[in-house]
Structure 1
């Protein structure tokens, strides 16, 4: 999710990757996932492209910093709502959702 979602200022706490990318010398050109592909905002268009390309499934991963922004405690309603809308959008387009529960993205 870090590589595609972006939306760092939208309902998400810091990720271990934010810290890594912010450390000078760790990433070429000091690039970050701050905006990434902006899938957080562009997911409807992205899913249309997947469907229109003839694919029948979509794999995504949960950003735990979006679900539990503080790293502990209760889940974020905004984070849960985002993934609820994303999964609904996947299903509405006749795609099969494949959720990756953990892909190296921790709060």
Structure 2
């Protein structure tokens, strides 16, 4: 029980900010939300049959990212999404905008959808709705499957559209 309470405690700086911003300061019906992008948040790049993206390729090349970081783990939203949604609820979020990783749904860019990827996003949406948080989905957020980059040369080729 103590662990659960400690886990849900907000950092002091965030708590102070949350107290300074009151819902009453905004018009009725104002939506408070947060957002993420799949590549920057999910991690689990080699799990659930996710295919490589152009960002995976770029981040793996020496000298392309100053601190040599990548999104292999990121903030591990793929494994921690239930805890993350609990935190969203705790801070009073009404909406969550997130992107779907094209390579998690279609590991090779096209073809039959990956059931593990669909299951992950369906579970995330179900948890959001259970907590009263409205999901807003972005279908593409710059993480093109590497297979499509290799085949078509990216968005400069009209066949990719």
- Does TM, normalized by the shorter one, top 0.5? yes
Consecutive unaligned residues in structure 2, runs of 5 or more: 1-37, 146-161
Distance 1:72 1:58 in 2: 27
CA drift at 1:75: 0.8
Q: Greater Rg, structure 1 or structure 2? A: 2
More helix by share: 2
Give deviations 1:31-87, integer Å, cap 9, x for gaps: 100000000000000000001101111111000110001222111011001100000
Question: What aligned pairs does 1:9-20 form with structure 2 within 5 A after superposition?
Answer: 9-11=46-48, 12-20=50-58
Which residue in 1 is equivalent to 2:84? 46
Please report the RMSD computed on the Cα atoms of aligned residues, expressed in angstroms.
0.7
Gaps in structure 1 of 5+ consecutive residues: none
Runs of 4+ in structure 1 displaced over 4 angstroms? none
Aligned residues: 107
Q: How far, CA to CA, are the matches of 1:7 and 1:60 in structure 2?
A: 16
Q: 1:51 & 1:102 partners in 2: Cα distance?
A: 25
Query: Is residue 2:67 matched to residue 1:29?
Result: yes
- Structure with higher RCO (Cα < 8 A, 6+ apart): 1
